[in-house]
Amino acid sequence: MKKFLPALVVDVVLVVVFCAIGRRSHDEANALTGLAITAWPFLSGLAVGWVATVALYRDKFDAVLIVPTGLLVWFSTLVVGMLLRVVSGQGTAFSFILVAGTVLAVFLLGWRAVTRAVTKVRTPS
């Protein structure tokens, strides 16, 4: 698992950045406390996605793959995150779900796509 730690850190940072951007765009106060309140549901979903992916693909797990890792991590981050927001009384307007789904997809799938592209370019044929 140690070799996958950098990928997990990238995912965590990107989810926190997503939450920080959202809070900043709405001029919300209480910087650190508010960020923690906004981020915990999505970070919980991210953890669920990572655990599920590692459990399902134990022998073939690759943290940089878009399919299945990126998709499962993105989907669980979004779905579990939104469910936990509902349970905790935070907002889940339809437009927010669309924006969150899009931004999280760009972040969580995008860095994997860039990494794969760079790796292919560097690998001699």
pLDDT tens column, 14-56: 999 999 998 887 666 677 888 999 999 999 999 999 999 999 9
Structural contact between residues 100 and 82, judged by C-beta atoms closer than 8 angstroms: yes
Residue 105's identity, in one-letter code, is: A
Q: What is the pLDDT of residues 83-122, one digit of tens each?
A: 999 999 998 999 999 999 999 999 999 999 999 999 887 7
Residue 56's identity, in one-letter code, is: L
**Residue of 34, 123, 41 lying closest to 83 (CA atoms):** 41
Instruction: State the burial class of residue 7 (Cβ atoms within 10 Å of its Cβ: 0-12, 13-18, 19+).
Output: buried
Structural contact between residues 49 and 72, judged by C-beta atoms closer than 8 angstroms: yes
User: What pLDDT, on the 0 to 100 scale, is given for residue 115?
Assistant: 95
pTM of the model: 0.91
d(CA 104, CA 107): 5
Measured distance between the N- and C-terminal CA atoms of the chain, rounded to whole angstroms: 29
d(CA 39, CA 103): 14
Structural contact between residues 49 and 77, judged by C-beta atoms closer than 8 angstroms: yes
